[in-house]
Amino acid sequence: MTTVANLPPAAVGSALTTYLDGSQNWVYEGANQHIYEAVFSGNWGGVDVTSASGLPVAAPGSALSSFVDGNAISISFFGTNQHLYEAVYLEGGAGST
Amino acid sequence: MHGRGKWAALGGGLLFCWAAQAQTILTNYQDGTQNIVFVGPDQHIYQIVATGSTWVSADVTAAAGLPVAATGTALSSFVDGNAIGISFFGSNQHAYEAVYVAGQGWSGVDVTAAANLPAAAVGSALTTYLDGDQNWVYQGASQHIYEAVFNGAWSGFDVTAASGLPTAASGTAISSFVDGNAIGISFFGSNQHAYEAFYLGQGWVEWM
């Protein structure tokens, strides 16, 4: 799905997390340490989560975790300062915490 | 909760003081209680359980009569009705499952042998999922993705061969989901692209 979502390849050793929110979603870390998300909801799409959320880049080889909480989607990772960051998506836009 | 720290009092006063491994692998699940599972320095699998205000611990490896875990093993867990499954790789790179059934206690099974599958690659990921059956997914030394299935009887599948997808990158992450009647198993290929093998009840297919 990396190709059909028009996303860059994953970094070697990237984590991979998937979740369902009506769409099917795959999340991984690219070689530039950005977090990318491929989405399939009948059509394919791709998102640079790091850019969209304004969060810092992830630590190389960061763990990744995701959950869906009502209408909110959460993607969590470690930054290069080893702080835990969460990118949050709410219907209508992206936010970060 | 990782590194070389040791457990101190938690909640109403736990008293489990194993220092975990330097790179502690954790999994957790909820079955009405909160459960945390990790590998101890003796390569045993340990579980700590929050029961109200009290924490209790168990040596899962000893209780299930299973061999010790491989260094750096992946861990996965699920709750299936009144059964709890905790899975890991042994030093022979077989996937093992410790099973707890209320009223029956712990037992163990060699998943790889039962499903007649090849051993996992050293450092393989391990993911489990439930779709009515119990399913274990890991990477073999051939870099193929294998799946063991238990639905009263055991069977095993070479997902890579069945789906026609390329071999996985060595040490790839693996993820799975169940979406209605569809099952997806995802991994990275040697080109670091993410691939998904998709199952719709009529066999595995390549998904884009």
Is residue B168 within 8 Å of residue B158, measured between CB atoms? Answer: no
Query: CB under 8 Å to B196, separation ≥6 — which residues?
Result: A1, A26, B184, B185, B186, B207, B208
Across the interface, of A3, A14, A20, the residue whose CB is closest to B177 is: A20
- Check whether residue B119 and residue B174 sit in a common domain: yes
Tell me the per-residue pLDDT of A31-78, one tens digit each, with 9 for 90 and over: 999 999 999 998 999 999 999 999 999 999 999 999 888 888 999 999
- Check whether residue B93 and residue B127 sit in a common domain: no
Structural domain boundaries, residue B97: 1-111
User: Averaged over B31-52, what is the pLDDT?
Assistant: 85
- A63 touching B (Cβ < 8 Å): no
Measured CA to CA, the distance from residue A48 to residue A27 in angstroms comes to: 10
Q: Of B73, B89, B111, which residue constitutes the final position of a domain?
A: B111
Read off the pLDDT band of B208 (50, 70, 90): low
The pairing of strands B34-39 and B45-51 is: antiparallel
Instruction: Give me the residues of A, 20-49, that contact B with CB < 8 A.
Output: 20, 24, 26, 28, 31, 38, 44
- What pLDDT, on the 0 to 100 scale, is given for residue B124? 97
Q: Give the chain B residue whose CA is nearest to the CA of A63.
A: B173
- B207 touching A (Cβ < 8 Å): yes
- Check whether residue B125 and residue B198 sit in a common domain: yes
In total, how many domains does chain B have?
2
Q: How far is A97 from chain B (nearest CA, A)?
A: 22
- A72 touching B (Cβ < 8 Å): no
pTM higher than 0.90, yes or no?
A: no
Q: Is the dihedral of CA B168, B180, B131, B161 positive or negative?
A: negative
- What pLDDT, on the 0 to 100 scale, is given for residue B10? 35
ipTM: 0.85
- Check whether residue B81 and residue B154 sit in a common domain: no
Provide the number of CB pairs (under 8 Å) joining chain A to chain B. 58
- Check whether residue B3 and residue B104 sit in a common domain: yes
Q: Of B61, B77, B111, which residue constitutes the final position of a domain?
A: B111
- Check whether residue B49 and residue B15 sit in a common domain: yes
Mean of per-residue pLDDT scores for chain A:
90
Read off the pLDDT band of B2 (50, 70, 90): very low
Q: Of B55, B77, B111, which residue constitutes the final position of a domain?
A: B111
- Check whether residue B130 and residue B172 sit in a common domain: yes
CA angle centred on B83, ends B148 and B108, rounded to 5°: 60
Burial environment of residue A35 by CB neighbours within 10 A (0 to 12, 13 to 18, 19 or more): buried
AA letter at B111: V
